[in-house]
């Protein structure tokens, strides 16, 4: 905390300068996104959440991630994000190797799900997009 003592040397200009310095040094408030996940197979690996921006979705590097213990068939995670558009990918990592395992034909062998509308196969960013603005909650089913 910055305490400014007003003396003869401190003019209104200095007070305004200190006020602006404090104002600019504070962090922007983050919005919160609560992700409710259901369809988890009990005690068969962790559930991994990836938050993606447009450029990286779905196979690039995630913007932000989280891991949830797979000991319940429903779980929830709240993350702090700045306002904007994101796509969420979730999968249950049954063998703890940190990747969504796929078979020879590219079909996932582990449970997975995405934010946005339900589509067959891997969605585009626009199909999985959610807009975060304030506090909100979404639901993702993994199959």
Residue with tokens 């990747």, as numbered in its chain: 99
Asked if 116 contacts 129 with a C-beta cutoff of 8 angstroms, the reply is yes
Beta bridge partners of 47: 68, 92
Question: How does pLDDT run across 53-69, given as a tens digit for each residue?
Answer: 888 888 888 989 999 99
| pLDDT score at 11 | 63
- Which class in CATH covers the domain with range 31-141? mainly beta
Residues 104-124 have a mean pLDDT of 89
**Which run of H or E residues covers position 48?**
strand 46-52
| pLDDT score at 140 | 95
Domain ranges of the chain: 31-141
Reported as half-sphere exposure (CB side, CA atoms, 13 A), residue 63 has a value of 18
The strand pair at 64-68 and 46-52 is best described as antiparallel
Distance (Å, whole) CA 45 – CA 48:
9
Residues 77-85 have a mean pLDDT of 94
| pLDDT score at 59 | 80
Question: How does pLDDT run across 86-112, given as a tens digit for each residue?
Answer: 999 999 999 999 999 999 998 999 999
| pLDDT score at 141 | 94
Whether the predicted pLDDT of 4 surpasses 60: no
What is the average pLDDT score of the chain? 84
Work out whether the CA dihedral 32, 49, 66, 27 comes out positive or negative: negative
| pLDDT score at 9 | 55
Asked if 45 contacts 116 with a C-beta cutoff of 8 angstroms, the reply is no
Whether the predicted pLDDT of 113 surpasses 90: yes
pLDDT top residue among 10 and 11? 11
Residues 73-78 have a mean pLDDT of 92
Q: What is the DSSP letter of 14?
A: H
């Amino acid at each position: 905390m910055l305490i400014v003592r007003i003396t003869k040397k401190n003019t209104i200009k200095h007070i305004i300068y200190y006020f602006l310095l404090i104002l600019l040094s504070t962090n922007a408030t983050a919005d919160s996104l609560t992700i409710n996940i259901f369809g988890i197979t009990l005690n068969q690996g962790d559930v991994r959440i990836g938050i993606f921006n447009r450029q990286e979705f779905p196979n690039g590097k995630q913007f932000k991630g989280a891991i949830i213990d797979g000991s319940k068939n429903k779980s929830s995670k709240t993350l702090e994000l700045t306002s904007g558009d994101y796509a969420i990918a979730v999968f249950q990592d049954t063998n703890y190797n940190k990747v969504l395992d796929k078979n020879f034909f590219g079909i996932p062998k582990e449970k997975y799900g995405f934010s946005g509308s339900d589509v067959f196969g891997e969605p585009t960013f626009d199909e999985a997009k959610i807009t975060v603005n304030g506090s909100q909650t979404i639901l993702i089913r993994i199959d």
